[in-house]
């Protein structure tokens, strides 16, 4: 189905060079072109708004829109995560058709028509302003927007928690754009991330509401109010088409899940949907017929008199409930593939048909929504015929899941900071677990990741070990445990955890495979590191950097150059290939170039929050400075490398060499003593022995080696040094 749709869309795209007729063209009769404003309030449950009967929060702006427009009492999302849901809003297609199934690893196909692209073709100025990194332009969601301001993309030194922005800041950016387009037809997409977790409402809403979720709803409403005021000031509100909706709801523990990643009960799927028509037409009307987010784009096309793209899942929203009933209940399809992708559990699918909500899973459920809106009473045994009918309807839909592409490590970290777990489920032929029976694991894993982000690593490790005891096949938990152990400076245990994740995924978790390669390389197990890097390089381009480092260790400068070229071409926001190239330039005695490259890297990455990754850059920078005779600067670079990563043994030995070369022999011993004191392990003592031997201080080298052998008599590295006297 998707292939046919894309082919048809490609054919239409070929005709796009001829702009659709507009009133100015004197062409075919078309409707007027009103201003169009689409407001998406992320993670907003409809039943937490006064317009839908809730009394716990005040939302005067949304109430006003409801009074000025048409409110759809039962509107449903097709998916429980942000990016796929917005793809459905913009395309009018189900996720299984447009192909965007998760927030990461998928990109909207450029051949599929989008609302923004069609409106731009029709002569609209188009501007999108979003508040979350999830809707970054690189996902393809920005196609058709002349201006797309995510404001939350990769920026040097940006804290992970800052990859969303306050709705007030997003509105400020949108308002500046609006001022320049108010005199022409425009399409504004404004995305607000309140009330997405973490719930941290700003003043005065934090003090006004005891429930922080409600406080964030009120904060979002305040931004909507400011937007309405701005539209009024520009004189366009009355004539505008304004659509307010949410991409999905929030669990809030109604069925054991606090957020919205796994389950698809009503509280996650039912969303607010309000449409204010130009001139206030149908103001105050409420529509009881079931609506869906895929209906939004067809409604806009219909209002403008445009022919919609072929194959849409949605219908004209504004025609719902009008005319006689056909007798065939409408079916609204939704899915949750997040548990399949990230946990290796069963995916979920659902159909809302009239008053029935069927959820397909290993333990399926059926609910009557009017009498049981909280979905507590599974009536599948009483309604077997309905369940069979709805299951058969789902079976007719091709919901096959294409594996996500491997994401850049920085992308994964940024998504994790927003509460979107990343990783893969285990492989094998075992039956897939029903997510609702494992929902406590999600909470435990989320808690472990919050502890990790807070730097409470001992507690995070304990929490993760509890998770892998309960769910030993969970790739994500082993991968997260590896991360925590690595941060706790236990590389041997981290290696085993990453290896477990890689093995459980049958080699599919390329992020874990890359970490295995990196840690093996740190242990100078070059051949093993190369094999793991080669196993994942087709899915994880940064494995080329590991291969370049391995080639450098083996003095194969040409192979290192070849791998570096590939790594740098695909590095995106990654600094690692630049660091490796600095070392490669040093090895060729191209010290001026190495220093210049380190300057460039520091200009781009020097203010990043996780500066530990720059330790090697400072080490190689020190090498270049020392070779150029700039000894004071070289010493500062070595000291910075040590400060950033105290286990970086090469920084200590390089500093000791510099001290010896500049006639400060008394400081050499102190530097090497600091190295073995901070790093009381055989590797540090071996580095000290090698450094002293290179300085022709054989007596001191023998003394250090003797002490080390007494402490670690079976350490192979030390025994090899002893044999090479």
If we measure between CA atoms, which residue out of 196, 191, 193 comes closest to residue 251? 196
Residue 262: inside a domain: yes
What's residue 496's pLDDT? 96
> Which tops the pLDDT comparison, 451 or 419?
451
What's residue 406's pLDDT? 55
Q: In Å, what is the CA distance from 370 to each residue of 70, 355, 356?
A: 21, 6, 9
Length of the chain: 725
pLDDT, tens digit, for every residue of 188-247?
999 999 999 889 899 999 999 999 999 999 999 999 999 999 999 999 999 999 999 999
> Which tops the pLDDT comparison, 105 or 513?
513
> Which tops the pLDDT comparison, 23 or 179?
179
What's residue 25's pLDDT? 41
Please tell me whether residues 38 and 109 are part of one structural domain: yes
What's residue 68's pLDDT? 97
The most confident of the ranges 142-156, 221-235, 333-347 is 221-235
What's residue 443's pLDDT? 86
Model confidence band, residue 22 (pLDDT cutoffs 50, 70, 90): very low
Please tell me whether residues 149 and 203 are part of one structural domain: yes
Please tell me whether residues 257 and 363 are part of one structural domain: no
Residue 98: inside a domain: yes
> What rounded mean pLDDT belongs to the chain?
88
* Boundary (domain end) residue, out of 260, 293, 315: 315
If we measure between CA atoms, which residue out of 265, 288, 284 comes closest to residue 276? 284
CA gap 464, 426 in Å, rounded: 16
pLDDT above 50 for 704: yes
CA gap 657, 361 in Å, rounded: 65
pLDDT above 60 for 618: yes
pLDDT above 90 for 82: yes
* Boundary (domain end) residue, out of 339, 370, 395: 395
Residue 196 backbone dihedrals phi, psi, to 5 degrees: -65, 145
Model confidence band, residue 505 (pLDDT cutoffs 50, 70, 90): confident
pLDDT, tens digit, for every residue of 279-323?
999 999 999 999 999 999 999 999 999 999 999 998 999 998 765
Please tell me whether residues 361 and 219 are part of one structural domain: no
CATH code of the domain covering residue 255: 3.40.720.10
Model confidence band, residue 13 (pLDDT cutoffs 50, 70, 90): very low
Residue 63: inside a domain: yes
**Averaged pLDDT for residues 391-398:** 93
* Boundary (domain end) residue, out of 315, 333, 365: 315
pLDDT, tens digit, for every residue of 342-379?
888 899 999 999 999 999 999 999 999 999 999 999 99
Please tell me whether residues 196 and 253 are part of one structural domain: yes
Please tell me whether residues 257 and 308 are part of one structural domain: yes
Please tell me whether residues 112 and 235 are part of one structural domain: yes
> DSSP string of 158-201?
--GGGSB--HHHHHHHHHHHHHHHTTS-EEEEEEE-TTSSS--P
Q: What pTM, to 2 d.p., does this model score? A: 0.75
pLDDT, tens digit, for every residue of 652-668?
999 999 999 999 988 99
Please tell me whether residues 143 and 245 are part of one structural domain: yes
Residue 567: inside a domain: no
Percent of the chain with pLDDT over 70: 89
Residue 240 backbone dihedrals phi, psi, to 5 degrees: -85, 150
Residue 176: inside a domain: yes
* Host domain of residue 389: 348-395
Burial 85-108 (b: 16+ CB within 10 A, else e): bbbbbbbbbbbbbbbbbbbbbbeb
What's residue 446's pLDDT? 84
Number of structural domains, the chain? 2
Model confidence band, residue 544 (pLDDT cutoffs 50, 70, 90): very high
Encode 443-496 in three state secondary structure. HHHHHHHHHHHCCCHHHHHHHHHHHHHHCCCCHHHHHHHHHHHHHCCCHHHHHH
Model confidence band, residue 21 (pLDDT cutoffs 50, 70, 90): very low
Residue 721: inside a domain: no
Please tell me whether residues 252 and 295 are part of one structural domain: yes
Please tell me whether residues 257 and 357 are part of one structural domain: no
What's residue 20's pLDDT? 42
Lowest mean pLDDT among 118-127, 145-154, 236-245: 145-154
Residue 242: inside a domain: yes
Residue 174: inside a domain: yes
Please tell me whether residues 307 and 357 are part of one structural domain: no
> Which tops the pLDDT comparison, 162 or 31?
31
Please tell me whether residues 55 and 166 are part of one structural domain: yes
pLDDT above 80 for 613: yes
Percent of the chain with pLDDT over 90: 72
pLDDT above 60 for 159: no
């Amino acid at each position: 189905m998707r292939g046919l749709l894309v082919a048809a869309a490609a054919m239409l795209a070929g005709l796009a060079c001829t702009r659709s007729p507009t009133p100015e063209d004197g062409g075919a009769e078309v409707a007027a072109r009103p201003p169009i404003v689409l407001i998406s309030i992320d993670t907003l449950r409809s039943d937490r708004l006064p317009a839908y009967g809730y009394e716990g929060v005040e939302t005067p702006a949304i109430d006003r829109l409801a009074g000025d427009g048409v409110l759809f009492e039962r509107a449903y999302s097709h998916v429980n995560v942000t990016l796929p849901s917005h793809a459905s809003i913009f395309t009018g297609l189900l996720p299984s058709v447009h192909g965007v199934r998760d927030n990461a690893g998928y990109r909207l196909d450029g051949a599929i028509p989008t609302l923004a692209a069609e409106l731009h073709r029709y002569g609209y100025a188009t501007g999108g302003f979003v508040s979350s990194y999830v809707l970054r332009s690189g996902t393809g969601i920005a196609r058709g927007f002349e201006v797309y301001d995510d404001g939350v993309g990769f920026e040097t030194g940006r804290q992970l928690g800052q990859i969303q922005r306050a709705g007030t800041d997003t509105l400020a950016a949108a308002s500046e754009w609006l001022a320049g387009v108010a005199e022409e037809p425009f399409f504004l997409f404004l995305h607000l991330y309140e009330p997405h977790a973490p719930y941290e409402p700003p003043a005065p809403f934090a003090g006004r509401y005891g429930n922080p979720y409600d406080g964030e709803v009120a904060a979002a409403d305040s931004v909507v109010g400011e937007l309405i005021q701005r539209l009024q000031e520009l004189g366009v509100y009355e004539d505008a088409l304004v659509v307010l909706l949410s991409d999905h709801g929030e669990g809030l523990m109604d069925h054991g899940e606090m957020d919205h990643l796994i389950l698809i009960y009503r509280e996650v799927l039912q969303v607010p949907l309000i449409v204010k028509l130009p001139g206030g037409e149908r103001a105050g009307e409420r529509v009881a017929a079931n609506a869906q987010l895929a209906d939004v784009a067809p409604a806009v096309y219909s209002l403008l008199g445009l022919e919609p793209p072929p194959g849409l899942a949605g219908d004209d929203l504004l025609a719902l409930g009008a005319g006689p009933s056909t007798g065939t209940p409408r079916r609204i399809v939704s899915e949750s593939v997040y548990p399949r992708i990230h946990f290796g559990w069963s995916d979920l699918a659902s159909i809302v048909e009239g008053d029935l909500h069927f959820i397909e899973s290993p333990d399926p459920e059926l609910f009557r929504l009017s009498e049981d809106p909280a979905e507590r009473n599974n009536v599948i045994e009483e309604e077997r015929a309905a369940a069979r009918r709805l299951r058969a309807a789902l079976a007719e839909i091709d919901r096959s899941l294409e594996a996500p592409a491997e994401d850049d490590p920085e992308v994964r970290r940024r998504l994790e900071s927003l509460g979107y777990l990343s990783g893969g489920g285990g492989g094998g032929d075992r039956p897939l677990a029903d997510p609702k029976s494992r929902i406590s694991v999600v909470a435990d894993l989320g808690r472990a990741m919050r502890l990790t982000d807070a730097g409470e690593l001992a507690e995070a490790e304990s929490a993760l070990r509890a998770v892998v005891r309960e769910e030993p096949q969970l790739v994500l938990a082993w991968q997260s445990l590896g991360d925590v152990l690595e941060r706790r400076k236990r590389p041997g245990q981290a290696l085993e955890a990453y290896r477990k994740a890689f093995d459980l995924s049958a080699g599919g978790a390329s992020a874990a495979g890359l970490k295995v390669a990196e840690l093996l390389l740190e242990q100078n197990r070059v051949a093993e590191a190369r094999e793991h890097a080669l196993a994942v390089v087709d899915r994880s381009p940064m494995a080329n950097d590991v291969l370049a480092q391995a080639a450098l260790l083996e003095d194969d400068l040409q192979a290192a150059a070849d791998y570096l070229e590939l790594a740098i071409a695909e590095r995106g926001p990654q600094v690692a290939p630049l660091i490796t190239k600095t070392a490669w330039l040093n090895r060729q005695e191209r010290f001026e170039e190495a220093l210049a490259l380190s300057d460039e890297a520091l200009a781009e990455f020097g203010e990043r929050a996780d500066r530990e990754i720059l330790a090697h850059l400072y080490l190689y920078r020190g090498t270049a400075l020392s070779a150029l005779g700039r000894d004071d600067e070289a010493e500062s670079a070595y000291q910075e490398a040590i400060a950033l990563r105290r286990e970086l043994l090469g920084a200590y030995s390089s500093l000791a060499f510099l001290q010896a070369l500049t006639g400060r022999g008394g400081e050499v011993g102190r530097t090497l003593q600091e190295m073995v004191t901070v790093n009381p392990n055989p590797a540090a003592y071996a580095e000290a022995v090698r450094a002293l031997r290179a300085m022709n201080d054989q007596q001191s080298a023998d003394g250090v080696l003797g002490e080390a052998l007494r402490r670690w008599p079976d350490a192979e590295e030390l025994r090899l040094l002893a044999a090479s006297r």
